[in-house]
Structure 1
Amino acid sequence: MSFEEQPDFARQVADLNKYGQALNRCESVEEVVSLTLEAMSLLFDLSYSTFVEAHEGELRVVHSTNPHLTPGDQPSETAQRALESGETIVETGVAAGVTDSSEVSATLAVPAQMADEVSAVLVARSTSKNSFGDEHSRPLEILASHAATAISNIRSRERLERARQDLETRKEMIELYDRLLRHDLGNDLQIIAGFAEAVETQVEGQTAEYAGKIQRAARNSADLIARVGDLVSTLEQQDEPEPRDLDAILSETVSQVGDSHESLSVEFDSGEFGYRVYGGELLDSVFTNLLSNAAVHNEGDVTVELSATTPTPDEVVVRVADDGRGVDPEIREEIFEMGAKGPESNGSGFGLGFVRALTESYGGTVDVVDSESGGAAFRVTLQRV
């Protein structure tokens, strides 16, 4: 008999929906585990219930009513198969037990997943049933789906909170360096430049040349500090991430950058970016910098392709790939450091550092790899709403 043909089908669906609503109100994964095991015990005729958490492809038992399992244990091969296949697994006979002497006659392992990401495996065992049919697997799959949604939401909130805390720490450090650079070093450089200018007017020959070089170096350094100060002020004023429409941000950015750089062609379909992501008012600056870099750091006409992928249910990766000369693998990490720039760059070296600082403040990441056409492909990962 199928799940839908059960005489108490409507009641069981209603009970599952109530648990689903309760799971979505959970504040921690521990609460999700406790409530899910409660539902498995009350709604199903099971001998043992086990909640197995999946993290980075590894499984561990979080809690179980089975006396042979304790938190932290490695789960059974049945749970591992459910993780790897992403499908419900049923075992009967000797293979169903945790130990060779187990009285378990049937085991049901259901992956809790959103899209292709499995966050947990619910394992049900019975000492009285010879097998588990559709009337058992279907309702447990519904419960697993509710648990997966709850866990995904909790982890998204945790990542966002960590990003906010990191942003506060980063702002405190930036403020410290800002005071040091602008108020102390900046003033000293102005004094050096002023005295060097005075010396240059009173001497001749090579001495005057040296004084002129000292003056120019001091002025350039002071100018650089001023630009860093502007960047610091921008980051200090950065608001906390909130839901924003990615397609609208990219559409406006592509239009503005295209008007500024005639050599740049952007392949962009706004319909591929129908996602809401966490970001601040400066999120558009991330993509403005990346698109402008493609035009500025490549000679002649350059084409950039924008595309999006969703590697997990709570993330979206925006790929900005050009057909230019690319980025040397040896400096790909260095170019995201504040003040760093490529050997042939005439810029200040703060554009990509700014991009990384902003992206990380939104709980995201950015990196660069080779594009299919041999250029550079910047990948901006953002948290989905």
Structure 2
Amino acid sequence: MKEKKGQILVVDDNPQNLRVLGSMLKENGYRVALAENGIEAVKYAADKDPDLILLDIMMPEMDGIETCNRLKADDRTAEIPVIFITALTDTEDKLRAFNAGGVDYITKPFVLEEVMARVNGTIKRRMYEIERLEYMEKIEKTNEELELYSHILAHDLRNMLQVIDGYTDILYEEVPEKRELIEKISKPIGRALETIRDIRSLMKGKIEEIRETNLKKEIKDGIDAMTITFPRSTFRLHLPEEEIMVPANESLAQVFYNLLYNACIHNNNEVNVSVTVKREDGRAVIRVTDDGRGVDEEILPQIFERGKKGRESDGTGMGLYIVKRLVEHFNGTITAENLRGGGASFTVNLPSC
């Protein structure tokens, strides 16, 4: 007896056929269950979940086609592959069998090599599919756990860094002779907070539902945050009078926050930034331009790739990568270019509602 490779349910109203097929399958290492009619087969399959069903088409009371229809209508048995047993040579009957959900057929009288070739091939595909689904379930569970841990880690780190950042603000005011040192301490804290915010926004962009979002409000929110963070920079906003709604969510504000932050941080925190919004061909086009030193031409083609640090940044290179991911999540596009007179321009193109 060979090693057991799976369980097969054989369904036939002819006891002789059951014995012949049962012996063939057992000799080739399979566990075998037998049923003499469709009612028994449906009940057994729902209870035991065999790996394959060999099902005779011509049976009294409930024929093989009706039996297969019932199996496929039940969530517990719908995925079990069915190979029909038939003495019929009519193409129409074979088509009926396939339309009912059969994956293959074997003909009477049985030929050992043909039966085992079809059975072995179907079982292998079945086992592969089961392993694939189990693997995908494990990946999904692992991703859910990683997402949860990332949320917890980002939340706790952000809270601790914000406390430290708050103390540096107090020291900056109360110990003026150490302000240069305090600024050096505060700068990496700010970058760390920014990175955490970027990661959290990317995660939110992946899991939050897309809905009608007020584009002007999200841009204004991004600019409001920038005017506090970079008081030496100037921000000019050019908006149409009408409201523009786009399919997005609150993470859209982070897109513009990052673009504005990118313009300021790479131009010594002192730059003139212009944000222009237009509606073109049923889409919203947002252009963020600055009068800074632009982007290195060698970096420009890959500026949105993960790990690229853009304009000689000492950060993680995640900001613009996250911007691109979020924009694409909202079914939009983003491009970057250097301006002839100096500075850089980033153009976001989004569908409008």
TM-score (norm: length of structure 2): 0.43
- Rg larger in 1 or in 2? 2
TM-score of the two chains, using structure 1 as the length reference = 0.39
Question: Greater RCO between the two (CA within 8 Å, min separation 6)?
Answer: 1
